[in-house]
A = this chain, B = another copy of it.
């Protein structure tokens, strides 16, 4: 593999000049530029990214940490990642997929992270990843609210989770539902806190008594119940316990499908017997399932784009003013899975 000195020698210029030709940090005469480029092509030379990083202290990569060993992306993750990769590429950055807390990092082998910044997806309460970023001095933005002790000002992109659930409840209550079951995210995810609060507030505002079977939390990832989330809760609550639930709010598309399956097994129908509302989800799945699913569109791709922009701003790539927190709008998409009851 040819190096800068080889090119310099053959092109009869100094290595500094070759460097400038490639980095464009200083102008070089057309004549010299051509000569250098020609020799470079001959030698198949490209600057060594590592050597460059060593001095510029930029790796041109950002980390994207996906939730602790969550092996199964939902449509939300999917679209979010797409947004991130595309927007990062726009600024010349690549994306390193990361799963920090899957296994404990062995200290002796720890080495500083070769990324310029990071995006932390779906923070948990006292999220270890965030402590690591923080103490490692790595600029980062989170997607979702941070709730770590001792960490106050963090940049984040988020949906207005409290309001989202509140709106969904209002939507269902306006349709006459008073017995709503909410399949929330995992308890440790900060998002679940705000959503739970929104649910409780809605129940209070509409004078509906809160019962235990109305809120469930997604089991821990990798637990045996994880894959069945939605199915079991529905069977148990509507079947065995005979609660008169008339509407179900599902955390994501996967959960929603589990719920539909349970409803089918209970010999009930959507939406005649039970209304089903999905938070986010795969567009084509939402539309093309039977019935099509009414959902709250969280705009995951836009969340990804905004997260990258915010990070680029922190890295001084993107100038201008940025607020500490950005909210991405979400809106209800009415389809056929929610009906009115009298």
Binding site for B on A (CB under 8 A): 1, 21-22, 24, 37, 44, 46-54, 59, 61, 64, 71-73, 78, 81-82, 85-86, 89, 92, 94-99, 102-103, 107-114, 135, 137, 227, 254, 257-258, 260-261, 264, 284-285, 287-290
Contact = CB atoms under 8 A, between A and B. Distances in A.
Contacts of A135: 44
A96 B99 contact: no
A102 B89 contact: yes
Contacts of A81: 97
A26 to B, nearest CB: 13
Contacts of A54: 48, 50-51, 54
Nearest to A137: B1
Please state the number of chain copies in the assembly. 2
Given A94-B96, A96-B95, A99-B85, A111 B254 contact: no
Contact of A95 (B73, B97, B257, B260): B97
B21 A108 contact: yes
A81 B64 CA distance: 14
A110 B46 contact: yes
Given A50-B54, A97-B97, 20 more contacts: A1-B137, A22-B111, A24-B108, A46-B110, A46-B112, A47-B112, A48-B112, A50-B59, A52-B111, A53-B114, A54-B54, A61-B96, A61-B114, A86-B99, A89-B99, A94-B98, A95-B96, A95-B97, A114-B114, A257-B288
Contact of A49 (B111, B288, B289): B111
B73 A78 contact: yes
A47 B111 contact: yes
